[in-house]
Amino acid sequence: MKNAFLAIIIAILLTYAFGNLFSDWWGIHLMMGDEMLSPFENFAAASAVGVVFVIIGVIVAFSLFGALAIAAVAGVAALLVAGVATFWPFLLVALAVWLVLRTKRPQTA
């Protein structure tokens, strides 16, 4: 709980400090109605826009990766099904031989 509280305080202080830098360096002042927003609100708005862009990027990246992953899994499953369908008699004989010839471990009580 203490760490979460410290993280919140640090985030607020950094947001306020970077808000001042944001408004001083770039001279960007957001207006809402007839009032100019404070440096904290300026930086918060710019951060919110950045977060939206990051979320959009993550969605695009994951959807592309997800589509590729689904295609890869479907391809592997198709090859597996085709292989099992083709070689099932050999696999059945191999399983029977393995079950008959495997060494049995002694039971310890």
23-71 pLDDT, tens per residue? 677 776 677 777 877 767 767 777 787 788 888 888 888 888 888 888 9
Nearest alpha carbon to residue 18 among 37, 54, 46: 46
101 exposure class (CB count in 10 Å sphere: 0-12, 13-18, 19+): exposed
Residue range 6-16: mean pLDDT, rounded: 79
pLDDT of 90 higher than 80: yes
* Cα–Cα distance for residue pair 69/58, rounded to 1 Å: 16
Task: Write down the domain spans for the chain.
Answer: 2-101
Please, what is the average pLDDT of the chain? Answer: 80
Instruction: Tell me the torsion sign for CA atoms 26, 27, 32, 37.
Output: positive
Enter the tokens of residue 60. Answer: 């695009």
Residue range 84-96: mean pLDDT, rounded: 87
- Give the pLDDT confidence score for residue 75 in this predicted structure: 92
pLDDT of 109 higher than 70: no
- Give the pLDDT confidence score for residue 93 in this predicted structure: 93
Please state, for a pLDDT cut of 90, what percent of the chain lies above it. 13
* Cα–Cα distance for residue pair 95/109, rounded to 1 Å: 29
CB 31 within 8 A of CB 37: yes
